[in-house]
Amino acid sequence: MADIVVVGSLNMDLVIRTPRAPGAGETVRGYGFRTIPGGKGANQAAAVGRLGGAVSMIGRVGSDEFGERLVASLGQQGVDTGHVKVDSAAPTGVAVITVEDSGENRIIVSPGANGRVCTEDIDEAKDLLAEAKVIVLQFEVPLEVVEYAIEKATEYPAKVILNPAPAAQVSDEFLSRVDCLVPNETETRILTGIEVVDLATAGRAGKDLLSRGVRQVVITLGEKGALWLTQGSTMHIPAIKVRPVDTTAAGDAFVGGLAVGMVRGLVMEDAVRYGGCAGALTVMKLGAQTSLPSADQVGALFAGDTSVLESLA
């Protein structure tokens, strides 16, 4: 049985590089078009698999070539896909991604089969959930399914990690069932109404989320690292300095690394650092699942060996 169960999306990413993003009504010349397996849920599951974690995925793909590729890609990275359904009523989800030469990206998602994930899919995986140590969720499948999965998780020993992306307004009751909330700056602003521009504003937003019932919050801050908050403490974990190639899936790698660190019994500060190492290595390569680092790479960086950064530069 899997230690980590991921409930979420599987998308094929349609990626094109560009010197800069076009303005409204403007056409710019791009280059390097690729189709790359992605989707926040699948990325996080793949990140766990790459790091040697025992992981299962719950989700849906269409009955098409993209769906076949996505399921095969997860399997190659050690993810159990027995609960990924092939849905003939909808195409596989896709994401159109532009990546600027600076490494910044812009993403438009068409959910496809991800929008048909339902509560029955959660019920059919109850044996997985009952044995899991950590359940990881995001918001790229219907919100009512995420809420149902979190509610069901309260029946089991598993900890719930929620990456609220793309951000949506949710109730305090919903948040009170979350063991660890992992938003980025934009998602934090949407959840709290507080513009996150520095550590001070991140701290205020994190405390607001704690006041709504979340047990602990990890706000990812890009090049500024991450801020970890509980009711009793606040800790800033600095980012590892790298030259970004593509920031796609960096947050997903962070979540996957965090989940692996928690399952392996790391103290939370070190689990956040481990996730940060995974995220830092991910931005040094193009794509989503194609950029995810190995357990050896993350382990070396976590131990202070920065030569792995030079090998990827």
* 124-130-6 Cα angle (round to 5): 70
With CA atoms as reference, report the closest residue to 135 among 123, 152, 121, 118: 152
- Coil vs helix vs strand at 219: strand
- Coil vs helix vs strand at 85: strand
Name, in order, each residue with C-beta under 8 angstroms of 90's C-beta and a sequence gap of 6 or more: 60, 62, 112, 113, 115, 116
Q: How many CB atoms lie within 10 A of CB 296?
A: 11
Q: What pLDDT score does 124 carry?
A: 97
Structure tokens at 179: 């063991």
Q: Which fold has domain 4-10+40-83+116-312?
A: UDP-N-acetylmuramoyl-L-alanine:D-glutamate ligase (3.40.1190)
Q: What pLDDT score does 313 carry?
A: 66
Mean pLDDT by 10 residues, the chain (313 residues): 95 94 94 94 97 98 98 96 98 94 88 98 96 97 97 94 94 95 97 96 97 97 95 94 86 97 97 97 87 95 92 76
Marked catalytic residue, from 80, 252, 270, 296:
252
Task: Give 289's DSSP letter.
Answer: G
Q: Where are the domains of the chain?
A: 4-10+40-83+116-312
The amino acid present at 213, given as its one-letter code, is G
Q: What pLDDT score does 29 carry?
A: 95
Q: In Å, what is the CA distance from 49 to each residue of 41, 80, 257, 283, 308? A: 12, 9, 10, 18, 20
CB neighbour burial string for 198-233, b if at least 16 within 10 angstroms, e if fewer? ebebbbebbbbbbebebbbbbbbbeebbbbbbeeee
- CA atoms within 13 Å, Cβ hemisphere of 203: 9
Q: What pLDDT score does 246 carry?
A: 82
Annotated catalytic residue 252: yes
